[in-house]
Structure 1
Amino acid sequence: MILVTGGTGLVGSHLLYALAAKNEKLKATIRPSSDISQVRKIFGYYSEETEANKLFDRIKWIKADINDIPSLNIAFKDVTEVYHCAALVSFDPSDEKRLRKVNIEGTANIVNLCIANKISRLCYVSSIAAVGSKHNNSKIDETSKWNPEENHNDYAISKYGAEIEVWRGTQEGIDTVIINPGVIIGPGFWNSGSGKIFSKIDKGLNYHFPKITGFVGVKDVVKSMIQLMESEVKNEQFIVVSENLSFEKVFKESARYMNKPEPSKQLKKWMIALGWIFQKTGSLLGAKRQLTRDSIHGLYEKSYFDNSKIKTEHRFKFTPMSHVLEETAKIYIKENY
């Protein structure tokens, strides 16, 4: 029996389809506030309605929260493998405690239950945000060391802390693979995460920024997880990035596939800084704030990630991001027009 946490998120929902299509016995955790209808919709991207519903019905949904041990105990019953996808993604400084609670403590709970239930395999979905950095324009790979003296946002710190908990589990006998995906692009969630790229372009996005980072399609993330879990590899991590691209290129290419005007203006640092000042003032009145001094500088950073480990050791072939963006844009248009 396979357990998937975070089954109602982007990665988790696409993963559930892939596992259901392989006729795996499946459990998935769902919080009381979550909506599984979105997952059923994503199954429809891959199969006709009858087949999609048949596969969807293979999932046994368990109401559980990764910070609620009693509910997790129920979820872990008869489980042999775990895909841990659940996480909080936020760059709002006011969410620091929640990030640590969900990403670090929640992952520690999953690891502890894997140990207690003698789980045979664990796959943890981390992030390139938790990978160390390199200098002199060299590419970042799995050997890059995390430097605690550098400026890291709270999300990155929480994902790195979660990785520490996962590595602790390997010392207790849990065979584990960790993947560090880049910015994940895929259909289904247009009002959160990378899905906002398409909804904002649809509404008329005028600005872009030059930040360069790693991007990957959600199908490749899922494929890498399953391939690694079915391999002999254990207690290793893999950067899962298709290409290193600028957000400017991603925005403009997505706009072309959607037949929308390309964002033509580059955000200037003074413009973002002014927005930061207004957000900081608003936060005093209880408004959410996502821009910080560090995140402003981050919009101009250029980080290049090396995906050669998974490509060389596991002959993994990534889908070009142009194909991922085109496919995602087509699904957006189909659903919204």
Structure 2
Amino acid sequence: MIGVIGATGHLGNVLTKELIKRGFKVRAIIPQGENVAHIKDDQVEVYRADITDLSVITAAIAGLEYVFHCAGIINISSGNKDLMYRVNVEGTKNVIKACISNNIKRLIYTSSVHAIAAPDKGIIDESREINPDKVYGFYAKTKALATLAMLESARSDLDAVILCPSGIIGPFDYKTSEIGQLILDFVNRRLKAYIDGAYNFVDVRDVAAGHINAMEKARRGEIYILGGETISVFDILTLLESITGIKKPKIKIPYCIAYAISPFTPIYYSIVKTKPLFTTYSIKVLRSNANISSKKAITELNYSFRPVRETIRDAYCWFKEQGKI
């Protein structure tokens, strides 16, 4: 049996379904209160556990062969750093200890490309440094710290592999990611202006497939970037316009103005009660180096990714099928 920690998240639910499709039985390890309707299956055993409690997560992992750890707090705003640290760093260290105690064959950890200290120019690949003091934002810092812990464990007691996806997007977005929120805001005509910039986005289905390939093919203690294609916000909106017939916003907010007012955007999003899109962190990311290479994963894991425009179209169609549009 294979364990998926964070099985109700965007990546987790797609990974769980793909594992079932390939004939594996899955133990879905999730916190109390999570809705499991979208992962219900005869081949799925649900286990409620908090990764910040070592004894609980150790019991949850007992009897498993392989473990995927894709749980974490992803936050592009500045909120709740204590919780983010407890889950992303201390929780990951607990998962490592639990896997060692249970003699797990391999732990596959979902880090992030943001954990890698990226240069302002040049290619971002696995040769770049993992240094929490050289990444931007608290989320990236927690992922870098957790990645360092994973690398250390792989050098001693645990067969561990680290995967670093870029921006995960696509269908089966039950909790509504940032790009999912952008699609909904666009279609529901709530998006009155935009901030241009670009980033590397990857389909959640391709990331899930990359994880399974890593379980079977990856080298112990190695980092693999799972990237996709770089696309601008303008091109995303243009694509949505062509799909829906809804005109994209004409107002483009200059970067300097957007960055200056970004500390106040949480107030706006709390009033309109939607997931934050353009925060200080996300604006910075949209103007950062997105020259991400997945060459290592392509070569060693047989990793591949589909065109980002196909992913955005599929995400839109999925939201429509779910009645959110």
Distance 2:138 2:176 in 1: 19
Please give the residue correspondences for 1:208-247 in structure 2 after superposition, counting only pairs within 5 Å: 208-231=194-217, 233-247=219-233
**Residue matched to 2:106:** 121
Distance 1:191 1:75 in 2: 24
Q: Which moved more, 1:152-161 or 1:256-265?
A: 256-265
Indicate if the aligned counterparts of 2:77 and 2:280 stay in contact, CA closer than 8 A.
Answer: no
Q: 1:278 to 1:73 in 2, by over 3 A?
A: closer
Q: Which moved more, 1:201-210 or 1:267-276?
A: 267-276
**Residue matched to 1:172:** 156
Q: 1:165 is paired with a residue of what secondary structure?
A: helix
Distance 1:309 1:242 in 2: 13
Q: Which amino acid aligns with 1:326?
A: R
**Residue matched to 1:109:** 94
**Residue matched to 2:234:** 248
**Residue matched to 1:322:** 309
CA RMSD of the aligned region, Å? 2.5
Question: By how many angstroms is 1:119 displaced?
Answer: 0.8
Write the deviation string for residues 251-270 of structure 1: whole angstroms up to 9, x where unpaired: 33234323332233222232
Distance 2:62 2:134 in 1: 41
Write the deviation string for residues 266-291 of structure 1: whole angstroms up to 9, x where unpaired: 222324523524757999xxxx9997
Indicate if the aligned counterparts of 2:11 and 2:208 stay in contact, CA closer than 8 A.
Answer: yes
Distance 2:263 2:238 in 1: 25
TM-score of the aligned structures, taking structure 2 as reference length: 0.88
**Residue matched to 2:79:** 94
Please give the residue correspondences for 1:159-308 in structure 2 after superposition, counting only pairs within 5 Å: 159-189=143-173, 192-193=176-177, 194-204=179-189, 205-231=191-217, 233-268=219-254, 269-277=256-264, 279=266, 296-308=283-295
Distance 2:101 2:142 in 1: 24
Indicate if the aligned counterparts of 1:142 and 1:239 stay in contact, CA closer than 8 A.
Answer: yes
Distance 1:254 1:121 in 2: 41
Question: By how many angstroms is 1:27 displaced?
Answer: 0.5
**Residue matched to 2:35:** 35
Write the deviation string for residues 275-333 of structure 1: whole angstroms up to 9, x where unpaired: 524757999xxxx9997656544443342111111123334221111111111211222
Question: By how many angstroms is 1:200 displaced?
Answer: 1.2
Q: Which moved more, 1:253-262 or 1:321-330?
A: 253-262
Question: By how many angstroms is 1:247 displaced?
Answer: 2.4
Question: By how many angstroms is 1:123 displaced?
Answer: 0.7
Unaligned runs of 5+ in 2: none
Indicate if the aligned counterparts of 1:257 and 1:330 stay in contact, CA closer than 8 A.
Answer: no
1:334 equivalent in alignment to 2:321: yes
Which of 44, 47, 56 is the aligned partner of 1:62? 47
Q: Which moved more, 1:78-87 or 1:186-195?
A: 186-195
Identical columns (%)? 26
Q: Which amino acid aligns with 1:101?
A: R
Q: 1:107 to 1:149 in 2, by over 3 A?
A: closer
**Residue matched to 1:138:** 122
Distance 2:305 2:232 in 1: 18
Q: 1:78 is paired with a residue of what secondary structure?
A: coil
Distance 2:79 2:43 in 1: 39
The number of aligned residues is 317
Write the deviation string for residues 14-59 of structure 1: whole angstroms up to 9, x where unpaired: 011111112212101121121112335xxxxxxxxxxxxxxx1211
**Residue matched to 1:11:** 11
Question: By how many angstroms is 1:65 displaced?
Answer: 1.0
Q: 1:169 to 1:327 in 2, by over 3 A?
A: same
Indicate if the aligned counterparts of 2:218 and 2:300 stay in contact, CA closer than 8 A.
Answer: no
